[in-house]
Amino acid sequence: MRGEVKDDNGVGLRVRQNDEEETVFIKFAVINVPSVVWRVLQDDNRIGYLQILRFTGRTPEEVLAAAKSLTNSGIDALVLDMRNNSGGLLAESISVANDFLNKGVIIYQVTKNDEQTFSAEDGGALTALPLVVLVNNHTASAAEILAGAIQDHKRGILMGQHTFGKGTVQQIFELSDGSRIHITSAEWLTPNRQPIAGVGLTPDVEMIPDENGRDVELGEAVRYLQNELESNSHG
């Protein structure tokens, strides 16, 4: 390689091959990294798996695509995995909560002088399936909002480890010496008015991670849902 030429559309690389120099132009491309992955876990009981990695501007549409794909596959229950989801965009987490809840409060945002309520609407895409939500101590912020709403409305159970406890809105001001000061301007409360900040969420089923790296939480979630499906079939 002898050098490169860049513009807004790509980069031209000057290369030498067989004693001849030529410019190879490589066009820039937009690569959208998905925030959601999904699959069917069990062919016999049709248990679906939906993992939200983070909450981005694309997450609501990706969750709807996952919901359509999984329901078309005929699943009877769902595992929602938000382990290691550090959060993201508030509006998008509220939008996704609408997919799991029929009405009811999703979150309260409380300031010193005001309180704002975010509520779910009717007709969510994933409101009927038996549900287990996997969380751990890296589940934070927007992910805790969704998990807390599901838990408080008894829409599903939380399984795993205690969550991180990040539930505030902060304003950041830069000082003249280059340092910064963070001022909390609002706090989030779950539908049962429980604080998230500094407290986190306690799973309904607490588990200790396997020291050998086996995904015991997912295995337990599948067993729980299999028992739920069996009980419902006999009910």
Q: Which of 81, 93, 95, 152 is catalytic?
A: 152
Q: Which of 35, 93, 99, 166 is catalytic?
A: 166
Strand order in the sheet with 3-7: 3-7, 10-17, 20-27
| DSSP-derived secondary structure letter, 204 | S
40 Rama class: left (phi>0) / alpha (psi -120 to 50) / beta: beta
Active site residue 27: no
Active site residue 152: yes
Q: Which of 81, 112, 141, 179 is catalytic?
A: 141
Quickly count: other Cβ atoms within 10 Å of residue 185's Cβ: 12
Contacts of 207 (CB under 8 A, 6+ apart): 159, 160, 161, 216, 217, 220
Active site residue 210: no
| DSSP strands (E only) in the chain | 3-7, 10-17, 20-27, 36-42, 47-52, 77-81, 105-110, 115-119, 131-135, 157-160, 168-174, 180-189, 205-206
Catalogue the active-site residues: 141, 152, 166
